Structure 1
Amino acid sequence: MSGAVPLLVTLVIQAMVALALLTLPVMAPVVAGDLGVSPAWVGLYVAVTYAGAMTASLLGGDAVRRLGAIRVSQWGLLLCAAGLLLCSQPHLGTMALGAVLIGLGYGPITPASSHLLARTTPAHRMALVFSVKQTGVPVGSMLAGALVPPVLLGVGWQASLAVVAAVCVACAVLAQPLRVGMDADRDRAQAVHLGSLWRPVQLVLAHRSLSTMAACSFMFSMVQMSLTTYLVTFLTQDLSLGIVAAGLALSAAQVGGVSGRIGWGYVADRWLGAGRTLLLLAALMVASALATALLRSDTPQALLVLILVVFGASAIGWNGVYLAEVARRAPAGQASLATGGTLAFTFLGVVIGPPVFGLLATLSGTYRTGFVALMGVASLCGVLLVRLVRLRAD
């Protein structure tokens, strides 16, 4: 099997579930107005989705071994579609259930893709290939930022969610012909049960390098999801931008993320290695969070876009380097299990980060406070990464 085919398939699926997850946050100011709640509540939506994603990622390794990576991805897409349809109903309880389903669909996608790519990628190209695949996340977010606001203005937020749900279903159907070849290594005897929840965490905690990477991803994910969740709301409320302009600004950050994921993978493979590359990204996150907090309504548009592109390149661009290092460090044949274990910590950061960001914004009356807090988180991660670089030889 050519390595290009698994890469393309996993990239497209990753983009679709990212689009599904971020559709509601992009339209948060409008939805919140209709429901009579603060837009800061979108942080709780993100927390609920990633709580579901954390559970699904822990089960993902065993599910992939039993069902195959493509089948697990198809189920993920269908769960996201069902969750979006529930979120289209203007009731907080129904939307909460929809958020859970979206999270359950999102969670196993990365363990499934890691399983496919670890089998088909040469060791010396791991960081670059995994980084290219992970561009699916900012690509999906970029689609959400560029396409959802115009559709929202045209047909309303409820119909917009149904449109994205239909796209997810179509992607699941189109993946079916690929299943025979790509899921040939599935093991029907592999059990999937509640005990599977702890096995990936045990694997991570038993390996020092994996546990260090997991802690790093916990903090980086707080920065990434706080940025993508609240950027549109920050720009519309604190800087008085229109929702379409704010959505395009989010797309600019995602463009930085796409470029960064590919570029940082190349840098890690060819020059710096994973530890030093991630340390550089932590420093860029600190500087970008400060610059974002200082943005004003009269900031030149070119400068605003530049800041957000750099912020996206760092805060959104780290995942491929991290996932490749996890797959490389994992015991033979356990890339999906190790990925699921470390992703549990990644998703935990997402569960905690956006609600805390929203709380800080609510208490202070400005979203700038949240971006200042992200500086502290990225700085702490930098300290941890200095230790990782020093312990590289262990």
Structure 2
Amino acid sequence: MQPSGTPSAFKTVGGLSLALGLMTTVQGLATLMMLAVATLAPVVATALDVGPEVVGFQISLIYISAAFVSALAGTLVSRFGGCTISQVAMVLGALGCIVIASGSLLLMAFGSVLIGISYGLTNPAASQILNRLTPSHRRGLVFSIKQTGVPLGGVLAGLALPGIAILFGWQGALYAVSGVGFLMAAFLLPLRSNWDRNRDRGVRVSANLLSGPVLVWRSTLLRALALMGFCFSAIQLSLMSFLVTLLVKDALWSIVAAGVAASVVQGFGAAARIFWGALADKLGKGIQILVMIGLITIVSSLAILTLSPEWPKSLVMIVMTVFGAAAIGWNGVFIAEVVKAAPHGNEGAATGGALTFTFAGVVLGPALYASVHNFFPSYASTFSALAIFPVLGVIVLVFTLRKSASN
């Protein structure tokens, strides 16, 4: 029987509020580490005498590493415990930042792999900890709040790192990020014996490297959610990657105005994660909420087909914030539904397995957008092609719902 948030469950692990706050912080810091070089790209590129676009390869390397480690993250969580794996994630990310600060392109690639491993470990570890504490009727809200760490980490990167780089150089900014990562790992140390006491020391890591993806693929509902995650993440990262360029090139906004707009859209995406999670809990229909989010994403991606400099800025912001609320806001409900559908004791494995597909979508989406852009008259109209991703995601979910209803 899954824990449903009884008082004894809260006492056993140490409190939902504490766990939620710390896991959200871990998620935010992992995102900060991932985006550090991208945020400082102009400065780093000048120092290394390379083009700023090279950062795209660095981000892809991070997500590819995250995708691979997600496949085995659930097994690692079962063996060592969610708190320990969260500590490992923080240490690896901190070490990755230090290695990148070396300034060697080869070592920077290795440091990016370390950050990718760190990023891929965070969600499965948090899922194991939070699932044991969260009442079933609050699961969507709790996991959605935890997922706000992703956009908030991006906001923190944009606000803090440029200023630190001005004072101490881009390498000093990376050292500062690594220091925070080490501090977070140390802060979790006193909680490890309590939070990880249910770990299974008999799990053989080497024999279960693909347990997460295999577990997901064998379950009809988990497989549908994973495929949906692949589709939704592809258009999410495309929006986040090309929003500023879209506004500058298609709407003729200044780079400053476009940057502010992107921050607003990110902020609405973070708030929407909480809204969608609360709504899913209130209605008790997480899958249906994901279908609704997918439909809004489809409509939004098609609504900007004719975006031009003649559009009022207020209209542009309304459309883009709605787009962001859907395309960025789905993750918490998604993870909550994965945890709900997972066999008892395998929440971390199911989360890691599902995120393997999600990270694959993250890698594919922006690359595909860049590849097909030349076939379309504008950046905005290119989203008409990528609308196929949320369309397929919605179809998969609707088909699964109908199949479940007929059984």
TM-score by length of 2: 0.86
2:191 paired residue among 166, 172, 178: 178
How many equivalent pairs are there? Answer: 393
In the other structure, the counterpart of 2:85 is: 72
Per-residue CA deviation, residues 61-98 of structure 1 (Å, 9 max, x unaligned), is 12112222111111111211222233345454333222
Map residues 5-16 of structure 1 onto 2, 5 A cutoff.
Answer: 5-16=18-29
Q: How does 1:331-342 map to 2 (within 5 A)?
A: 331-342=343-354
Query: RMSD of the alignment, in Å?
Result: 2.7
Indicate conservation of the 8 Å contact 2:220/2:400, yes or no: no
Query: Do residues 103 (structure 1) and 116 (structure 2) align?
Result: yes
SS at match of 2:143: helix
- Percent identity between matched residues is 39
Q: Is residue 201–residue 342 contact of structure 1 (8 Å, CA) maintained in 2?
A: yes
1:370 Cα shift? 4.5
**Alignment partners' CA distance in 2, 1:79 and 1:355:** 27
When structure 1 is superposed on structure 2, of 296-305 and 214-223 the one drifting more is: 296-305
Aligned partner of 1:390 in structure 2 is: 402
Match of 2:268 among 256, 261, 285: 256
Q: d(CA) in 2 for partners of 1:100 and 1:241?
A: 35
Contact 1:50 1:350 in 2 (8 A): yes
What is the aligned counterpart of 1:21 among 34, 39, 46? 34
Q: Conserved in 2, the CA contact under 8 Å of 1:268 and 1:274?
A: yes
For 2:160 and 2:256, how far apart are their aligned partners in 1? 9
Which residue identity lines up with residue 324 of structure 2 in the other structure? G
CA positional deviation for 1:45: 2.4
Mapped partners of 1:287, 1:150: distance in 2: 38
Give 1:123 shift. 1.5
- Aligned to 1:107, the other structure's residue is in SS state helix
Change (3 A) 1:347 1:388: same
Q: Residues 7 and 151 from structure 1, CA distance in 2 versus in 1: closer, same or farther, beyond 3 angstroms?
A: same
- The CA distance in 2 between the partners of 1:218 and 1:166, in whole Å, is 33
Contact 2:241–2:366, Cα closer than 8 Å, also in 1: yes
Cα distance in 2, alignment partners of residues 268 and 336 from structure 1: 21
Asked whether 1:313 is paired with 2:325, we answer yes
**Corresponding residue SS for 1:391:** helix
Structure 1 residues 295, 34: closer, same or farther in 2, change over 3 A? farther
* CA displacement 1:362-393 (0-9 Å, x = unmatched): 78796445433332222222222221332343
What is the alpha-carbon distance in structure 2 between the residues aligned to residue 4 and residue 214 of structure 1? 28
Cα 1:236–1:223, aligned 2, differ >3 Å: closer, same or farther?
Answer: same
Give the conservation status (yes or no) of the 8 Å contact 1:58–1:196.
Answer: no
Structure 1 residues 178 and 234: CA distance shift in structure 2, 3 A: farther
Greater Cα offset, 307-316 or 5-14: 307-316
Q: Which residue of 1 aligns with 2:384?
A: 372
Structure exhibiting the larger radius of gyration computed from Cα positions: 2
Contact 1:43 1:229 in 2 (8 A): no
Give the AA of the match of 1:200: G
Asked if residue 203 in structure 1 is aligned to residue 222 in structure 2, the reply is no
Q: 1:132 aligns with which of 104, 129, 145?
A: 145
Structure 1 segment 209-358 matched on structure 2, within 5 A: 209-235=221-247, 245-271=257-283, 273-291=285-303, 294-296=306-308, 300-358=312-370
2-structure distance, mates of 1:373, 1:36: 35
User: Deviation at 1:304?
Assistant: 3.8
Are residues 1:117 and 2:135 paired? Answer: no
- SS state at 2:295 partner: helix
TM-score normalised by structure 1 residue count:
0.89
Q: Secondary structure at the match of 1:333?
A: coil
State the partner residue of 2:11: none
Return closer, same or farther for 1:308/1:45 CA change in 2, 3 Å cut-off: farther
Amino acid at match of 1:385: L
Distance 1:87 1:14, change over 3 A: same
Aligned amino acid, residue 216 of structure 1: M
